Amino acid sequence: MFSRAVRPAVRAGSAAVTRTAPPNAANFATLREIEGRLKSIKNIEKITNTMKIVASTRLTRAQKAMDESRAYGKTSNTVFEQAETKPLEDSKTLFVVASSDKGLCGGIHSGLTKATRRLLAEYPNADIVILGEKAKAQLSRFASDKILLSFANVCKDIPTFADAQAVADQISLLPTDYSSVKVIYNSFINAQSYEATTLEAYSEEAITQSANISAFEIDDEALASLREYSLANNLFWAMAEGHACEISARRNAMENASKNAGEMINKFQILYNRQRQAAITGELVEIITGATASEDM
Amino acid sequence: MSSFRFARSALRARPSLFSAPVQRRGYAEAVADKIKLSLTLPHQTIYRSTGVTQVNIPAASGDMGVLANHVPSIEQLRPGLVEIVEEGGATKQYFLSGGFAVVQPDSQLSINAVEGYPLEDFSADAIRNQVAEAQKIASGSGSEQDIAEAKIELEVLETLQALVK
């Protein structure tokens, strides 16, 4: 009974072995196989190369948008730096993870997930809001109970302020009042490197209790608007910069993939040629041997 | 010896003579100071820490002019005209759809707005058409949200219409 169950597995295993047999074991079958592999690798190279070109054309635009959004966000956050705003002690924190829906861009999403994981260890009672499917899939593996909201289809193209406003609106509708909203995003260092960083937006209470706020004249009514506005600004900054990082990482990933495919193509081409020659030589030997044998007769 | 001492007292007197006008702060000197303006939109940076003489902003509590060494304050902006007097005395006018202006303690002014364009770029005809459209929606029987949005749009457009001749 047991042996019968095992036999098909053995047969399947032996089939796999013959497939991955060393290249010099057989001649004609592997020649075809190598040709097939070569063709498919060539196609893959074409695809990755096209993706790279698309990413590089999008990169300049994304980078420009990122520069503008960075200036905008920094201008908006100067006031909290000057007022020395800090989150309140022992209060709820909300993490907003600015990721996106698409993969094939290196460690962009897993970097964000790791950063979130580290921060979760620091703030165990924090809640999470996620932008983008990739980070959602990764984070729901170990913190699914903490995820309150998730958005798909954001950060697909260069984000607009309206996108950020819509997200900020949904966040402000959440029942809990968070004294600090930390936006986790990839900050762009240069074309090769990026780093998961946080931006912070504060609650009204945290703003009014900041150390240096007495230096400013402010209307109490304006405070609520300021809070929502600065949250939207931070989200916009994070989304724009995260988008630029993603595009640049995709460009790099696709460049590496094309390079690797090129190397593989070279290797397989040489292997293919060598085998072809060997096969021809073998045939020639057979013909000549046959001819000399029939001459002798 | 005594003449030497006399000369020295004269030397001492002279710097105080020179420093006298500096201590008296007149309007002219206050204006000579510059305020560092950062005027940013989500998609564009119009001014990046540029020294300007004066900025007039439409705050929610009333229009105000900001010179150097203004009291630090946080002001919400209405839709309206921001007037910037640059160093040479040239003025630039931008229409902003609302946002925040923060006067920082070190004579910096940061203005964040959602949308903003130079006033001369607006076309009076386009505004008139859009006002008509917004009025139609505002008085129509759309959802509550649509009507509220149209009313806000109308408020912005009417302010703009009054400014663009």
pLDDT in tens, B66-77: 988 888 999 999
Q: Is A171 contained in some domain?
A: yes
List beta partners, residue A97: A130, A184
Q: Is A148 contained in some domain?
A: yes
Report d(CA A57, CA B147) in Å as an integer.
41
Q: Give the pLDDT of residue A29.
A: 57
- Best B55, B104, B106, B153 member to test A by mutation, with max A CBs in 10 Å, is B104
Domain span including residue A87: 59-252
CA B158 to chain centroid: 21
Distance from CA of B103 to the nearest CA of A (A): 8
CATH number at residue A202: 3.40.1380.10
- Quick one: average pLDDT of A69-74? 94
Q: Which amino acid, B123? A: S
Report d(CA A273, CA A270) in Å as an integer.
5
Q: Is A23 contained in some domain?
A: no
Q: Is A269 contained in some domain?
A: no
State in words which class domain B33-120 has: mainly beta
pLDDT in tens, B42-52: 999 999 989 99
pLDDT for A4 beyond 70:
no
Chain B 96-135, residues with CB within 8 Å of chain A CB atoms: 99-100, 102-105, 108, 110-112, 114
Q: Kindly state the tokens that stand for A244.
A: 């630029």
Report d(CA B143, CA A84) in Å as an integer.
43
pTM: 0.82
- Quick one: average pLDDT of A35-57? 95
Q: Is A26 contained in some domain?
A: no
Query: What is the domain partition of chain B in residue ranges?
Result: 33-120, 122-163
Q: Is A121 contained in some domain?
A: yes
pLDDT in tens, B107-124: 899 999 999 999 989 999
Q: How many domains, chain A?
A: 1
Q: Is A268 contained in some domain?
A: no
Q: Is A168 contained in some domain?
A: yes
pLDDT in tens, A213-222: 888 888 888 8
